[in-house]
Structure 1
Amino acid sequence: MTNLPNLLTLSRILAVPLLVFMLWGPTWIGSLLAFVTFCVAGITDYFDGYLARAHGTVSKLGQFLDPIADKIMVAAVIVMLIAERTISGLNVLAGIIILLREIAVSGLREFLAGASVSVPVSRLAKWKTAFQMIALGALILEGAVGNLLPAREVGLVCLWLAAVMTLITGYDYLRVGLKHMT
């Protein structure tokens, strides 16, 4: 529990209430601080896995907590951006697609783990995560910079790209899962 990769993962989980607070009734400073917090959390997501593999400290706890930390953070940010109307109109659909896929894949992974089946993360799923993080980071940043940068446009385009990749990777996981359910 106390190795550095696990502490980095736990720090992402502990950052979520802070992110929610900063995005609640956002001000430019709150959005800027939320953007920095989100970026730091994203960096810890990379380094926790890298350090665990590099130092041979991969743990069951880390393997369990890492995807949960990612999903909690992404879900909380999407909900807050929708609540604050940064994501609005038809763009809410992209956010809902991402949220539903995360819930469905988590349930499917849990079922498959019970059947002793491991589903590796595909390259497309890694790209989906990258676009998702860029989208959410840009949409958070938009609250701090307004129209000075095209943060909103970049964020929404990346959100839709992530949603499309979400549907594809979700289907891939479902296809693999269905083979083990029959």
Structure 2
Amino acid sequence: MQWNLPNILTVLRLLAAPGVAVAFLFFGRPLADWFALILFISAAVTDWFDGYLARSWKQESKFGAMLDPIADKAMVIIALLVIVGYSSMSPWLVLPATFIVFREVFVSGLREFLGHEAKLLSVTKLAKWKTTAQMVAIAVLFSQDIFLWHMLGLTQGMDGPTVDGIMSGAISDEVGILWLAQLRDIAGTIGLTLLWIAAALTLITGWDYFRKALPFLRDSA
């Protein structure tokens, strides 16, 4: 195992994955949301840097090639579980998240079964786009709850009719509640749209990997 910078970044990204969930155990909200968002974005940035540096510095290694997809999957799956766990279990969120988790587990199982032939399931350009869409969608969905909690903080001390009046426009919005509500709605729409795009790419690439592995799954006559 080579402890060069690309591999160190990959290890740090793997360690950051559970940190996204642990943040909600030790911090209140919206601090936990901010911590998870910053940690997730920082880890996602290293996903680009470690591969770029490994190629540029000719420091590609078997250890990095093995750990990089594991770190990516851990980041995505754990973050999705956190987002779904703190959501209202909307099917528009749960369904694409389920497709993504199912595909990641399925492809990992295929790679494990194929062993030395797993090189047939090398990462494609479409799979890289899939990972990018997943990470951007997750980051945007984390920001949605940040807007929500800051909005709730501004409404503390207000009675229900006052809040309803501000939201309807009958009462002047002096503290920026409507602005935060609009940002929350925009983040939710963009995040869900990207997540469904990621889910579609996930299923397409998953089927492509299955098709490539199919000859090795048939029993000999």
- Normalising by structure 1, report the TM-score: 0.92
**Cα 1:176–1:54 shift into 2, 3 Å:** same
Residues of 2 paired with 1:120 and 1:141: CA distance?
A: 32
Counterpart amino acid of residue 113 in structure 2:
F
Aligned equivalent of 1:125: 127
**3-state SS of paired residue (1:137):** helix
Counterpart amino acid of residue 20 in structure 2:
L
Residue 204 of structure 2 corresponds to residue 168 of structure 1 = yes
User: For the Cα contact (< 8 Å) 2:92–2:192, is it kept in 1?
Assistant: no
Counterpart amino acid of residue 164 in structure 1:
A
Counterpart amino acid of residue 4 in structure 1:
L
Counterpart amino acid of residue 14 in structure 1:
L
Tell me how many residue pairs correspond in the alignment. Answer: 182
Aligned equivalent of 1:40: 42
Post-superposition offset of 1:2: 1.4
Range with greater deviation from structure 2 (58-67 or 20-29): 20-29
Query: What is the aligned-residue RMSD (CA, Å)?
Result: 1.8
**3-state SS of paired residue (2:34):** helix
Post-superposition offset of 1:148: 4.5
**Cα 1:76–1:26 shift into 2, 3 Å:** farther
Aligned equivalent of 1:137: 139
Larger Rg: 2
Post-superposition offset of 1:107: 1.3
How do 1:64-143 residues align onto structure 2 when only pairs under 5 Å count?
A: 64-85=66-87, 88-115=90-117, 117-143=119-145
- Normalising by structure 2, report the TM-score: 0.77
Aligned equivalent of 1:20: 21
**Cα 1:85–1:55 shift into 2, 3 Å:** same
Residue 88 of structure 2 corresponds to residue 58 of structure 1 = no
User: For the Cα contact (< 8 Å) 1:81–1:87, is it kept in 2?
Assistant: no
Aligned equivalent of 2:160: none
User: For the Cα contact (< 8 Å) 2:111–2:118, is it kept in 1?
Assistant: no
Counterpart amino acid of residue 75 in structure 2:
M
Residue 214 of structure 2 corresponds to residue 178 of structure 1 = yes
Sequence identity of aligned pairs in percent? Answer: 42
User: For the Cα contact (< 8 Å) 1:20–1:76, is it kept in 2?
Assistant: yes
Post-superposition offset of 1:67: 0.4
1:100-159, CA deviations, whole angstroms, 9 ceiling, x for partnerless residues?
100111111222333364323222211111111111000111111233521111111111
Range with greater deviation from structure 2 (46-55 or 123-132): 123-132
**Cα 1:39–1:86 shift into 2, 3 Å:** farther
**3-state SS of paired residue (2:213):** helix
